[in-house]
Structure 1
Amino acid sequence: MSRFFFLLACVFTISFSAKADNQDIYLISGVSISTNAKSPALAKAAAFKMARRDAFLILLTRLEMKSGIADGITDEEISDMVRSEQIEKEKISGGNYSATFNIMFAKDFVDYVLLQKKSPNASENKAPEDIYLLIPVKMKKYQSIIWGEENDWKEAIAKTLNQKSLNQFVVPDADIANIASLNEGEVVIADYRTLEPILSRYKAKAAYSLIFSYDEIENKVVIEVIRLSKFQKKKVKLSFVNIDRLNYQSLISKVSDKVMEYLLSSQSDLDQGVNSSATRIKIYLNSLSSWVAIKNKIESSGLVNQLNIESISRDYVVVTINYIGEEDIQKAFARKGLRLNQQEENNFTIDAN
């Protein structure tokens, strides 16, 4: 009996250690830096850059990648990959600075940057692959869950991406900036403006919210797919009945595979029509109230399904719209009391002075 408990304890210890090692692979500890410059501030700034780059080289070694990849990565890109850093044994004397750094890298940002850099011998003429953001959301008792261990749907999607090497899709990591951008209570009804900061951060073309609901009584999974880009919002519901009586973990894994198959097969069709009706309008103003009136008139016209503000100044506002009307846009807007003056194809002005 005692031998059984001893073996069991060993199994748990090994399993726990493996998990810890996997989590700690992006934590680089004990990077010692000593440098000097004309001022303490310059010396400290230089030390931070050196420490981050040295830590990144160590990380590349752990990931079994060539260290030469780092030559094509800027200090700013490495800084963006850092999730947190701790400084120990800091000493400042005149222009001299020394410290020991413990640096944690954000896995999702490391994966993204390495995806762009890991093929240095690829053809320079090859167009870069578009990036798409995936936001797996689990519905539990009418509550939407994005972050935390409760969202096993997010883990299933990440596992499928890794197994199938679907590098064009990115699942955001749970860092402070991403959590601030993706509010669990609002992500289901999010618009482009809500997601624009995180889309810009990943340089993503569009975002897919993958909302997972499991009906235990009917033994069925429903996935609501919401695709959101600058000029398009589309919803599709996918239903999966568990006819094979799979257990929950096998079911969620199977559904994850099928959802990614759907995204891959439908992606090109969705992309083709996204910008076909994109129209840019420069609105000249004499007051804030005139801008508000025109904006309300456009949004309530029934002629557009998306309006995005590109820039605002004292004298004018530039917007882009997705026109969904069937007749000529100038005639349609004129019926609503808005006179469009065409400058070039899909570019107009409105004079509200």
Structure 2
Amino acid sequence: MRFRRFFNRTALLVTFFALVGQYSLSPAWSGNHVYTVTNIKIDASAGSATEAKKIALSQGYERAFKALVERLVPQQDHAKVPLLSAKDALNYVLDISLSSERSSSVRYIAKMTVRFKESRTRGYLRNTGVALAELISKPVLVLPIQKSGEQSLLWGESNQWRAAWGSLGETNGLVPLTMPLGDLQDIGTVDAKGALAGKDGLWKLASKYGSNDIFLSIADIANDSNSAELSAVRTGKFGDGRTYRLKVVKTAEESTAGMLERGANSLNGSLQQDWKQANLLQFGIERWILVQVPIEGLQDWVLINNRLQDVPAINRLNTRSINRSQVNLDVYFSGDERQLTLALAQKDLAMLLNENSIWELRLLNKPAASSSLTLPLEEEVPTLSEDFVVDELAVPTQEIDLSNDNESMTTE
């Protein structure tokens, strides 16, 4: 019996290390979609459908690379990156996919998704001397409120500001945006007044759409519809309450809808720029910390290891020791502890200092167990207390203030 118990435990530990090995960090992390751009529209005409498609694909490679630069590189560094021709861009393309294809005898139209070779493309961008940000934020829920006199409108087809944000579609930014459907459940959860006051319904709506942060945006449209005062604030778990203010004026060629779409695009650009600026990777400066990872079984460690692969700030891991209840890791990363903590939080991993001033990595939002396999335990491992759940939304205690003039932008 003693031999059998030893054999069973040894077999489980062998399985444990074998599975962990499958998820170890490597130079190319398969779960990282940072270097994939989507929704690139291509449209070309030529003497034949075949030639039109060839020209359209060439357009797509160039536009996709430009979109990637805009996604990862701060705006002030865009000019430092030479835009590649279709032929040169192809050297960095891993694969593509096409959707919404339409063609005639002389024209080809489609939407293109391009996946770039991560290591090679990163190397090219670094060689240009630009700063890079690769951390994808958790989705942010956009709530556009249109003001008209004393009235505020959040839902309904008459909300032109909501329509303007909806027209942006997928923006390829590091901060994914999501819009509520505006169905009966949404309408009954919160109205414009409740949203501005930070009522509980605001955060119930965010939770419904899987968001930790809300980008609350207000458009005060002039009576003649020729201009609008726009303001916005990102608030929630990862939002710092930063406000944005922008005035847009309709040009001779624009409609009111076009003016508002331009304003929404500008506000989104500022949101994306701030996220990039706060999460720039510091190449050439590597830090190291010791991290303890409490686990309750094999599933925990496999899941944590899998999530770690998607954290671009982490360069490499070294497993110091591993047992049935804890893994000790050396974590080598770019940036500082604040940036690393933020990056881990996007993957539902909480890093915090314990009572011994040692960093601990804890699993948040653990999915339901898909397997009964666990490591043999000699004693019960205590579950995490609610004190360690940092994935809660911060509900404002007072009306959201958009009067801050720290961010002032004007477009004509």
TM-score relative to the length of structure 2: 0.34
Higher RCO (C-alpha under 8 Å, 6+ residues apart): 2
- Asked which structure has the greater CA Rg, the reply is 1
TM-score relative to the length of structure 1: 0.38
Greater share of residues in helix? 1
